[in-house]
A and B are shown apart, each in its own frame.
Chain A
Amino acid sequence: MKSNLLRIAIVAVAVTVAAAPAAAQRGRGIPVPPLPAGPIEYRTGDGMAIRVVVLTRGLENPWSLAFLPDDSILITERPGRLRLFRNGELSDPIPGLPDDIEANFISGLFDIKLHPDFEQNRLVYLTYNRGREGAGSVTVMVRGVFDGTTLTDVEDVFVAEGATSVSRMLFGPDGKLYMSTFGERDEIAQDGMNYAGKILRLNDDGSAPDDNPFVGRTRWHPEIYTVGHRTPESLVIHEPTGQIWESEMGPNGGDEVNVIVAGGNYGWPYVSLGRSYAGPFQPDKFHREGMIDPVVSWVPSISATGMTFYTGDRLTAWNGNLFVGGVRYGEIPGTGRLQRIVFNENMEELRRESLLEDLRVRIRDVRQGPDELLYVITDETDGALLRIEPLE
Chain B
Amino acid sequence: MNIRIAFSSAILCLAPTALPAQIGVPAMPLPDGPFVIDTAEQGPVRVTVMKGLELPWGMAFLPNGDLLVTERPARRLRIVRDGVLDPEPIAGLPEMSGGGGGLMSVAIHPEFADNNVVYVSYTKSAAQGNRAVGLSRGRLEGMALVDVHEIFAAEEPGGGPAPGLPLVFGPDGYLYFGIGGANDEIAQRGDSYFGKVLRLNDDGSVPENPFAGREGFHPELYTIGHRNMVGMTIHPETGAVWQNENGPLGGDEVNILKAGANYGWPLVSYGRDYSGAPVSDKRTMEGVEDPVLFWVPSIAISGMTFYTGEAFPAWRNNLFVGGLQFGRIARTGQMQRILFNESWQELRREAFFVGLRQRIRDVEQGPDDLLYVLTDEQDGALLRLEPADQAAERENLESE
A42 touches B8 (CB 8 A): no
Find chain A residues with CB under 8 A from B296 CB: 273, 297-299
Which of A44-52, A157-165, A196-204, A361-369 is the interface stretch? A44-52
Which of A77-85, A124-132, A168-176, A324-332 is the interface stretch? A324-332
Q: Restricting to B80-133, which residues have a CB under 8 Å from any CB of A?
A: none
Find chain B residues with CB under 8 A from A344 CB: 275-276
Q: Is B329 an interface residue (CB 8 A)?
A: yes
CB distance from B369 to the nearest CB of A (A): 18
- Chain A 9-49, CB within 8 Å of chain B: the 1/0 string? 10111011101100110111111010010001111111101
- Chain A 281-310, CB within 8 Å of chain B: the 1/0 string? 000011100000000011110000000000
Q: Restricting to B206-231, which residues have a CB under 8 Å from any CB of A?
A: none
Neighbour of A42 across the interface among B6, B12, B350, CB < 8 A:
B12
Find chain A residues with CB under 8 A from B26 CB: 43
- Chain A: residues with Cβ within 8 Å of the partner, total of 67
Neighbour of B276 across the interface among A20, A343, A358, CB < 8 A:
A343
A30 touches B38 (CB 8 A): yes
Neighbour of B40 across the interface among A28, A273, A286, CB < 8 A:
A28
Assembly CA distance A26 to B45 (angstroms): 11
Q: Is B343 an interface residue (CB 8 A)?
A: yes
Q: Is A346 an interface residue (CB 8 A)?
A: yes
Report the nearest A residue to B39, measured CB to CB. A30
Neighbour of B283 across the interface among A19, A287, A353, A358, CB < 8 A:
A287
CB distance from A319 to the nearest CB of B (A): 15
Neighbour of A1 across the interface among B7, B13, B350, CB < 8 A:
B13
Assembly CA distance A45 to B38 (angstroms): 25
Contact sample, A vs B, 19 pairs, CB 8 Å cutoff? A5-B10, A11-B6, A26-B314, A30-B350, A42-B12, A43-B12, A47-B20, A285-B290, A286-B284, A300-B348, A330-B348, A334-B40, A349-B297, A351-B23, A352-B297, A352-B328, A353-B327, A353-B332, A358-B7
Please give the residue numbers on chain B whose beta carbons come within 8 Å of chain A beta carbons, in ascending order: 4, 6-10, 12-14, 19-21, 23-26, 38-44, 249-250, 270, 272, 274-278, 282-284, 290, 294-297, 314, 326-330, 332, 336, 340-341, 343, 345-351, 354-355, 390, 393-394, 397, 400
Additional 16 contacts, C-beta under 8 A, given A344-B275, A349-B276, A353-B326: A15-B8, A16-B397, A41-B9, A43-B19, A45-B24, A45-B330, A46-B23, A279-B341, A279-B347, A285-B284, A286-B270, A287-B282, A300-B295, A332-B349, A334-B40, A346-B277
